[in-house]
Amino acid sequence: MPLPKAELHLHIEGTLEPELAFALAERNGVTLPYADTEALRKAYLFEDLQSFLDLYYGLMAVLRTEADFEELADAYLARAAAQGVRHAEIFFDPQAHAARGVEIGTVVEGLGRALDRSRERHGITTRLIMCFLRDESAESAMETLEAAKPHLHRITGVGLDSAEVGHPPRKFAAVYEAAAALGLRRVAHAGEEGPAAYVTEALDVLGVERVDHGLRCVEDPDLVRRLVRERVPLTLCPLSNVRLRAVDVLKDHPLPQMMAAGLLCTVNSDDPAYFGGYVDDTFHAVREALGLGEDQLRELARNSFEAAFLDGSPEEEAL
Ligand code: ADE
Ligand code: ZN
């Protein structure tokens, strides 16, 4: 039986498995530049974050209708349930879809249909976190927040993702301030490929409550002490870090040292269709490669609930 856990760093578009991508391509009359699922899988050899993003944004062309987003989310939730996930905080990238004329309402309402029955069907409670693409302009992020306003009853928070280096958190200060004023929770990717200083900036300028990745905080001992002191959760994604070459091999991942330093670490799958495993697969992989014991795995699972945006309602806490 997999450990019950919350998944806090999961891009729904990153759960698009090749089989579903081809099925949606056929349904929507989209031609993919790959002969078949095997050829597509063979393309999953990434040099860095950007080389992954190029393929990832390209494959999203198959996602067009509410039904597509509903099917995508339902397929993820079914897999997540089998991996012990009881609560999932799901990222989506509205700007990546708007670029092809797919409106935010189509994305949110489609995902929402699957999320609305998730508890009953899969035993998983959910949250939606809307991410801004940091390699797009701050104005575009603000327009996206504006476009999201009719759908805010479905959206718990905002995040920041895509190409990190050269796009520091401070670029998005105004949109994060506006999001906070709307009562939205705040997270951001920082310290994945970018420097530890971006983690500090995400905390100080954006007011984030959780840092996505945060891996490179280890390069700044003062920052590590602060993250420990303030109990700021990090949503680490070890399989992603290997596939995108932030670390060379899994056995070199600093997760054990980060846990030993007292950081509030969680382990997540990021883009599981691309990186070789869903969240319990990741737990198994870190146990094998890093020699984590049962106590440490239980600590990671416990941390995931502590770091979640659960409102403490007895119904949800009972899950
Ligand atoms: N979008 C999807 N996966 C991502 C990652 N690992 N980093 C930044 N943006 C992303
Ligand atoms: Zn991510």
Q: What pLDDT, in 10s, does the model give residues 21-44?
A: 999 999 999 999 999 999 999 999
DSSP annotation of 267 reads E
Closest CA to 301 of 284, 277, 316: 284
Residue 132 near residue 175 (C-beta atoms within 8 A): yes
Query: How far from the centroid of its chain's Cα atoms is residue 230's Cα?
Result: 22
Helix (H, G, I), strand (E, B) or coil at 9: strand
pLDDT tens track for 258-292: 999 999 999 999 999 999 999 999 999 999 999 99
Place of tokens 């409550």: 209
Q: Is 202 in the pocket of ligand 1 (CB under 6 A)?
A: no
One-letter amino acid of 61: A
Residue nearest to atom 8 of ligand 1 (CA): 162
Domains of the chain: 5-309 (3.20.20.140)
How far apart (Å, rounded) are the C-alpha atoms in residues 45 and 187? Answer: 28
Q: Which residues are annotated as a binding site?
A: 9, 11, 189, 270-271
Q: Which helix (H) or strand (E) is 212 found in, with range?
A: strand 210-213
pLDDT of 138 higher than 90: yes
pLDDT of 163 higher than 60: yes
Active site residues: 192
Q: Is 189 in the pocket of ligand 1 (CB under 6 A)?
A: yes
Place of tokens 């062309």: 61
Question: Residue 88 C-alpha to ligand 1 middle, in angstroms?
Answer: 17
Residue count of the chain: 319
